[in-house]
A and B are shown apart, each in its own frame.
Chain A
């Protein structure tokens, strides 16, 4: 047994961390948050140059053909630095779905553009709050055209294409590929908790669309896609956990009250100890899921759900307690605590929230 990333993978992680520390400080995240743009296109270009967008795309489609483990360590660093780029939607979700389920023509027309950072693809599934992504079936496909409305679409404002779930006349629930630059598509920015990663609503009005993947396979494809994305997301969340915990430690160590460092009070130290426990459990579960994904082990579905549940809980805990240990300053816009807290919110929901994943975990555990 060897339960650790390789030296090469750690090197990739170190380089990613160095690059992001220099080029993706939280001021960049704040610019997007303050409404400047949907993402930082300059940073996106640099990251493409580093090859991150090409990491897990096959070489024949312009990628580097590296494994998912390399993508995991990059995800952890993107999560740590709250980098505002459309990596999540395009790389974790869309690229994988196209690579695994797209036809040859779709792969050839989209994957090289994704690898080169020129094509942004979003996943559009949700239709109404309170309804799980797989249950959203109001959008209709008829005669090569799509009609309906999707909400809370990450990177939907800027994306070039969307992968959309919809139902046809035979009640088959399938995925469709839609070019968003057409008259039948209207999109709008939706106000949301974490405005550093904007969400969009997208209305399709007889928009031209083509099937992606097998007929009636939306649930199967999306379930697999979410399992896979859950692993990468748990690494982003892990990076965010570490950053918010470190932020709290650094602040309370140098802040004094009652004549002593705030970090020396047991009440504060025990909060950090509990953060550490939550982070280590999330880390271990994320590692296990990363391994299961990398070798496509039969334990992947349970491992992915476990990593996701653990990471959601850990990031919520670390980011909320980071505000708490900061005292009043933690509640100000000026301090960065809220950036992590808001990102924890976004990442907790974007591929199905805690409720759904806990249910997945249990049904997979019980083999139902």
Chain B
């Protein structure tokens, strides 16, 4: 066991530190509450700056816009950048999902053209998997892709698409054969979203923001050379993408603990320091133990990956623990503030309304990228090897699977 940086890692850390000190903005609370367009523009600017300095997509090969470094360097970067207020993870869903998909399945020319632009946020990418009738059960999706000549025609609807309103491209999972079992009739593509057959409608969320979108496809066109993987082998390709995403997400999931600790250190409850309140102290113990446990679990995953292992379903743990903790922390702090805790922008509101904003956002984080319940199923079935529930869709052709939506 050894937690020290190697000489090269220490060198990289020093380089990252000094560059960040000169170029990154200090933590500014209230970022979450800011205007969405403003935040988007700030993120694009940051991604440009970071790329030009050689700190983007560190684990990607150099020829595709990365730095060819191991996961360990990404961890070091994440640790250092976390001291600043930059939106370093803003496009993580697009890049974390679409990057590996292109890396594995796109042509060499496509990779060399598209990946560096993705890494620099010159092009924003989104992942088009979920549908109104296929969320937790995403393999049940129905958006159709039909081949005519050298092109595919796309018809259907996607939903919960992060950042689609800003996206130039997407990676889309479609149904190409409804006559076989639902897992065997899927095909993955990349798609140019700036075309007539594609319509993006932002979804207004419970927090008033619109991070997610509905995306409608009416005879949208994809050239066959945009196909990622073989026809009808899209499910395997999608799983590969999701697997790569796990480690990225495991290192990125915020659990709210740092904000809680900062609040506790800076606040009074009825004139007594919050850190001296027994109820607050009990929560500090509970949440610190979980926070430290998730962080150390990530170190264990990285060690395993560095030794040649594959990031497994264990990565579900960080999100499962962190998302709920984030929600509970926000609610707990609000409950320490009495009626004033309901105010989002009063001068007495701590951290510029961070907790009031987080208590709403966290409800969505528990759903995004797999609900808490799906995460538990993944752990139970894929890690612990417990039997699946009896299923009504096993061995049945996709078109014959019962669906409550058929009449709607």
Contacts and interface: CB of A to CB of B under 8 A. Distances in A.
B285 A277 contact: no
Nearest to A355: B282
B292 interface: yes
A18 to B, nearest CB: 23
Nearest to A359: B281
A284 B300 CA distance: 7
A273 B376 contact: yes
Contact of B2 (A1, A282, A303, A366): A1
B3 A269 contact: no
Interface in B293-321: 293-297, 299-300, 302-304, 306-307, 314, 317, 320-321
Nearest to B298: A284
Interface residues of B, number: 50
A362 B383 CA distance: 33
Contact of A274 (B297, B304, B376, B383): B376
B387 interface: yes
A148 B267 CA distance: 45
A273 B377 contact: yes
A261 B296 contact: no
A4 B292 contact: no
Contact of A365 (B284, B290, B320, B375): B284
Nearest to B307: A4
Interface string A278-290: 0011111101101
A265 interface: yes
B376 A269 contact: yes
Contacts, number: 148
Contacts of A260: 390
Contacts of A309: 285, 289
A269 B380 contact: yes
A253 B387 contact: yes
A269 B302 CA distance: 27
Contacts of A4: 1, 300, 303-304, 307
A296 B46 CA distance: 40
Which of B292, B388, B390: most chain A CB closer than 10 A? B292
A294 interface: yes
Which of A268, A280, A283, A294: most chain B CB closer than 10 A? A280
Given A281-B289, A361-B288, A366-B275, A266 B3 contact: no
A5 B317 CA distance: 22
Interface in A333-366: 358-359, 361-362, 365-366
A174 B124 CA distance: 67
Kindly state the interface size class of chain A when it binds its partner.
Answer: 35 or more
A273 B379 contact: yes
B300 A1 contact: no
Contact of A287 (B300, B377, B389): B300
Contacts of A269: 376-377, 380-381, 386
Contacts of A294: 1
30 contacts: A1-B302, A4-B300, A4-B303, A249-B385, A253-B387, A264-B387, A266-B373, A269-B376, A270-B376, A272-B379, A273-B379, A276-B317, A276-B380, A276-B384, A281-B289, A281-B293, A281-B321, A283-B297, A284-B292, A284-B293, A284-B300, A285-B293, A287-B1, A291-B1, A303-B292, A306-B293, A358-B285, A359-B285, A362-B281, A366-B265
Interface of B: 1-5, 72, 75, 261, 265, 275, 281-282, 284-286, 288-290, 292-297, 299-300, 302-304, 306-307, 314, 317, 320-321, 373, 375-377, 379-381, 383-390
Given A261-B387, A284-B295, 8 more contacts: A1-B5, A2-B2, A276-B383, A281-B294, A284-B299, A285-B289, A285-B292, A362-B284
